[in-house]
Chain A
Amino acid sequence: MSNSKKPKLGLSLMPTDDFRQATDELFQSNKVNALEWSFDLPLNGVAVEPWCSELLNKYSEANALTGHGVNLSPLSAQFSERQEAWLAYTQQEFKSRKYVHASEHFGFSEAGPIAHGAPLAVPMNAESLHIGKEMLKRYTDATQCTVGLENLAFAFGLEDVKRQGDFIDQLITAVDGFLLLDLHNIYCQVANFGVPELELLNSYPLSKVRELHLSGGSWSASVSGSRAAVRRDTHDDGVPQEVFNLAALAPKLCPNIEFVILERLGNTMTDPESQQEFREDFETIEEILEFSYA
Chain B
Amino acid sequence: MTQIRELKRKKALLAIIFASGVLNTQLPVFSESETQSTDSIIEQLANSTTISPEIRAYSLLSLARSYLKGGDRTKTEAAFANIISAPTHFKPSSRWHNELGSWANQASFEARAASSAKPKTELHSGIQEISAENLVLATEALHQVVTHLDNVSGTFAKLNMYFIASRLYKRLGNFDEMKKCDKVLETAFYAAETGSSVECEQIYAVSSILNSMAYGLIPIHIADHQSQQIATINLFTENEFKESEKLKLRAAAIVDRLLPGDHVRRKVHRDLALWYMKLGKVEKAESEKQALFKLVDSKDEKILYPQHGRCGGLIWWVTVSVFSGSCGMG
Contacts and interface: CB of A to CB of B under 8 A. Distances in A.
Interface in A274-292: 280, 283-284, 287-288, 291-292
Interface residues of A, number: 67
A287 B12 contact: yes
A116 B228 contact: no
Which of the listed residues B16, B65, B225, B308 has the most CB atoms from chain A within 10 Å of its own CB? B16
B177 to A, nearest CB: 20
A219 B326 contact: no
A126 B83 CA distance: 40
A233 B311 CA distance: 11
A15 B323 CA distance: 14
Interface string B61-103: 0100110010100001001101100000111011100011011
Interface string B8-39: 11011011101100110000000000000000
B15 A288 contact: yes
Nearest to A235: B329
B326 A291 contact: no
A249 B99 contact: no
Nearest to B226: A113
Contacts of B325: 15, 41, 44-46, 266
B323 A219 contact: no
Interface in B285-312: 308, 310-312
Which of the listed residues A228, A283, A287 has the most CB atoms from chain B within 10 Å of its own CB? A228
Contact of A116 (B83, B91, B94, B327): B327
Given A234-B311, A245-B14, A247-B15, A228 B330 contact: no
A150 interface: yes
Nearest to B64: A225
A225 B62 contact: yes
Nearest to B58: A221
B328 A12 contact: yes
Which of the listed residues A15, A41, A229, A294 has the most CB atoms from chain B within 10 Å of its own CB? A229
A45 B323 contact: yes
Contacts of B153: none
A252 to B, nearest CB: 6
A283 B324 contact: no
A68 B62 contact: no
Given A44-B326, A45-B323, A228-B80, A291 B7 contact: yes
A167 B112 CA distance: 45
Interface of A: 12, 15, 38, 40-41, 44-46, 68, 70-71, 105, 112-119, 150-153, 182, 184-185, 197-198, 213, 215, 218-229, 233-236, 240-241, 244-245, 247-249, 252, 263, 265-267, 280, 283-284, 287-288, 291-292, 294
Interface of B: 3-4, 7-9, 11-12, 14-16, 18-19, 22-23, 59, 62, 65-66, 69, 71, 76, 79-80, 82-83, 89-91, 93-95, 99-100, 102-103, 106, 225-226, 228, 308, 310-312, 323-330
15 contacts: A38-B326, A38-B328, A40-B326, A41-B325, A44-B323, A70-B327, A113-B225, A118-B330, A198-B22, A219-B90, A244-B11, A248-B15, A283-B9, A284-B15, A292-B19
Across chains A and B, which 4 residue pairs bring their CB atoms closest together, nearest first? A45-B323, A248-B19, A248-B15, A46-B325
Given A244-B15, A245-B14, 10 more contacts: A68-B328, A213-B330, A215-B329, A220-B95, A223-B106, A225-B69, A248-B12, A248-B15, A248-B16, A291-B16
